[in-house]
Amino acid sequence: MSGAVSAPGDDETPTDDGLSDDAFLGGRLRLLQPLRGHRAGHDALLLAASAPYAGCAVDLGAGVGAAGLAFAVRVPTAALTLVEIDPALAALAARNAARQAPNLAARVKVVNADVARLGRPSGPEAPAAGAADLVLMNPPFNDPARHRASPHAGRALAHAIADADVEIWLRAAERLLAPGGRLALIHRPQAIEALLAGLKGRFGAVTIRPVHPSPGAPAHRLLIGALKGRRTAPAFLPAITLADGAGRPSTLAEHVLRAGGAIGPE
């Protein structure tokens, strides 16, 4: 992700087993992640910062746990389930939960599963249908019809699904949330039509917050919030700009990406 802060983490230390040990949120969060393939960055931290308080949260497509664990660091009373289809990344997410200070393992469950199977009788027991009051969602961004898939299997799995298939993730979020529960997601602006179509009839009170890499640049991400079962009309929220004209991180970028603060009430 391009934007205000040049590196996804505050520092990066290579390890002996093909992983790096990266500091995020000014060192309040440390993540082991593969040196090759998909790597956590600003998107996960922006998503975590956009989510309101919750007692029971689920992070779909969690990867190594970046968004969910960043949320758990900010909300120290939340119980969290991280869902990841790649077993190696799911194992890293569990390791990452246990290595934080304080250790988050007692309130973080990791589930290795396909999002499409969640909340169904034939799916995994956890996360349970209708039990969450927040679902965080960072679905794969790149529609393979418009983007050439990465030759690296892990990166392709993390980045490439058709825009229309985001509805599969939205249906899963609806199953997992209690009535009135909150959805928070991040995606590309180019997917807005598919996102609104998938939300229709399932979620309302939709809020859309554009994220711009610099002043005058087109938005390159959208932060979207919604409430299950509501019918309130959608609204645009004030945009976020990650860097000033000289390329320096904006005050809000520093607040979110380094200090671990929230973006603000919706």
| Percent with pLDDT over 90 in the chain | 81
Which of 241, 233, 237, 191 is closest to 216 using CA atoms? 241
Tokens for 25, please give them.
């949120």
Place of tokens 């200070």: 101
Angle between helices 66-74 and 87-98 (to 10 degrees): 20
Tell me the sheet residues that pair with 204: 227
Q: pLDDT, tens digit, for every residue of 156-207?
A: 444 445 777 899 999 999 999 999 999 999 999 999 999 999 999 999 999 9
Find the length of the chain.
266
d(CA 157, CA 135): 20
pLDDT of residue 15: 62
CB 61 within 8 Å of CB 135 = no
Asked whether residue 27 carries a pLDDT value surpassing 70, the answer given is yes
| Average predicted confidence (pLDDT) for the chain | 89
- Where does residue 193 rank: exposed (0-12), middle (13-18), buried (19+ CB within 10 A)? exposed
Pairing type for strands 203-212 and 221-228 reads antiparallel
Asked whether residue 4 carries a pLDDT value surpassing 90, the answer given is no
Q: pLDDT, tens digit, for every residue of 210-246?
A: 999 999 999 999 999 999 999 999 999 999 999 999 9
Domains of the chain as residue ranges with CATH: 11-258 (3.40.50.150)
Reduce the secondary structure of the chain to three states and give it as a string: CCCCCCCCCCEEEECCCCEEEEEEHHHCEEEEEECCCCCCCHHHHHHHHHCCCCCEEEEECCCCCHHHHHHHHHCCCCEEEEEECCHHHHHHHHHHHHCCCCCCHHHEEEEECCHHHCCCCCCCCCCCCCCEEEEEECCCCECCCCCCCCCCHHHHHHHECCHHHHHHHHHHHHHHEEEEEEEEEEECHHHHHHHHHHHCCCEEEEEEEEEECCCCCCCCEEEEEEEECCCCCCEECCCEECECCCCCECHHHHHHHHCCCCCCCC
pTM of the predicted structure, to 2 decimals: 0.88
Average of per-residue pLDDT across 93-115: 97
Q: pLDDT, tens digit, for every residue of 116-133?
A: 999 999 999 999 999 999
Tokens for 146, please give them.
């418009």
d(CA 194, CA 191): 5
